[in-house]
């Protein structure tokens, strides 16, 4: 399901980006926006897992090096993913680094990784890491849209002995300053 959604989003992003007004393709600067998507969460506890809607805000800065772009950012997502009645994931935030290659002046294929923290209603919060990839397209002056797939891992969540991993797929829209 996540793979099909990622493919459809990537194709839609490319088509929309080609059809709309383009900017100069300079990625340097700050950006802010919103994201919405899907989270699939699994745990090492038998029968404790869940999936559902996730969404929030994005902030960051990119630096254009020519064919390559590097940057850093912050994401904060609200969630209400029920983990089989044992807990509910309420939010996740991430500090991320990313690096990407411009497939065209307005299209960026990138990899990302960093630190994440997840908060639940009953099990507390814990920190972990994530890694992922995405594609971002500038679709109008100062506006970009993206699709991003991330894998998260939280070992021994809040010293509970339970390992948690999550996969998220989100669609993003940003205003670039």
Inter-residue contact 37 to 55 (CB < 8 Å): yes
Q: How far apart are CA 43 and CA 45, in angstroms?
A: 5
43 phi and psi, to 5 degrees?
-130, 165
The answer to whether 62 touches 31, Cβ cutoff 8 Å, is yes
Q: What tens-digit pLDDT sequence spans the chain (177 residues)? A: 555 544 445 444 444 444 333 456 789 999 999 999 999 999 999 999 999 999 999 999 999 999 999 999 999 999 999 999 999 999 999 999 999 999 999 999 999 999 999 999 998 999 999 999 999 999 999 999 999 999 999 999 999 999 999 999 999 999 999
- pTM for this one? 0.85
C-alpha angle with apex 133: 149 to 45, nearest 5 degrees?
A: 45
């Amino acid at each position: 399901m996540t793979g099909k959604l990622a493919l459809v989003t990537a194709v839609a992003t490319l088509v929309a980006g080609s059809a709309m007004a383009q900017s100069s393709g300079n990625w340097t600067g700050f950006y802010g926006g919103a994201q919405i998507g899907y989270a699939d969460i699994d745990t090492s506890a038998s029968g404790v897992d869940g999936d559902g809607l996730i969404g929030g805000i994005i902030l960051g800065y990119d630096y254009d090096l020519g064919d390559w772009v590097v940057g850093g950012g912050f994401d904060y997502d609200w969630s209400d993913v029920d983990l089989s009645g044992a807990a509910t994931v309420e939010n996740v935030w991430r500090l991320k680094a990313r690096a990407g290659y411009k497939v065209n002046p307005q299209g960026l294929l990138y990899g990302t990784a960093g630190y994440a923290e997840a908060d639940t209603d009953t099990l507390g919060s814990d920190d972990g890491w994530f890694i992922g990839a995405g594609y971002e397209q500038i679709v109008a002056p100062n506006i970009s849209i993206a699709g991003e797939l991330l894998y998260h891992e939280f070992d021994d969540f809040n010293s509970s002995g339970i390992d948690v991993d999550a996969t998220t797929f989100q669609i993003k829209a940003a205003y670039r300053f």
